[in-house]
Amino acid sequence: MSRAHAQERPPAPEPLPIPVLDSHTHLDIVVGRRGDVDDGSQEDAVTVDADRVRAEIDAAVAVGVTRLVQVGVDLPSSHWGADLAAASPHVLATVALHPNEAPRTADLDEALREIEALAALPRVRGLGETGLDYFRTGEGGVEAQTASFRAHIAFAKRYGKALVIHDREAHSDVLKVLKEEGAPDTVVLHCFSGDAEFARECAERGFYLSFAGNVTFKSAAHLREAALVAPRDQILVETDAPFLTPMPYRGRPNASYLIPHVVRFLAELRGDSLEDMCTALAANGERVFGQW
By the 8 A CB rule, do 71 and 46 touch?
Answer: no
H or E stretch including 114? Answer: helix 108-119
Among 123, 120, 16, 116, residue whose Cα is nearest residue 68: 123
- 39 annotated binding-site participant: no
How far apart are alpha carbons 286 and 18 in whole angstroms? 14
5 among the known binding-site residues? Answer: no
26 annotated to bind ligand: yes
The annotation status of 152 as a binding-site residue, yes or no, is no
Residue 242, preceding bond cis, omega within 30 degrees? yes
**90 marked ligand binding residue:** no
Query: Which H/E stretch holds residue 127?
Result: strand 124-133
The string of DSSP codes covering 162-173 is EEEEEEES-HHH
Question: What is the C-alpha separation between 272 and 247, in angstroms, rounded?
Answer: 20
166 carries a ligand binding annotation:
yes
CA angle 117, 118, 120 (to 5 degrees): 75
Secondary structure (DSSP) of 4-68: HHHTSPPPPPPPPSS-EEEEEE-HHHHTT-SS-TTS--TTSPP---HHHHHHHHHHHHHTTEEEE
Binding residues for a divalent metal cation: 24, 26, 129, 166, 190, 240
**Known binding-site residue numbers:** 24, 26, 129, 166, 190, 240
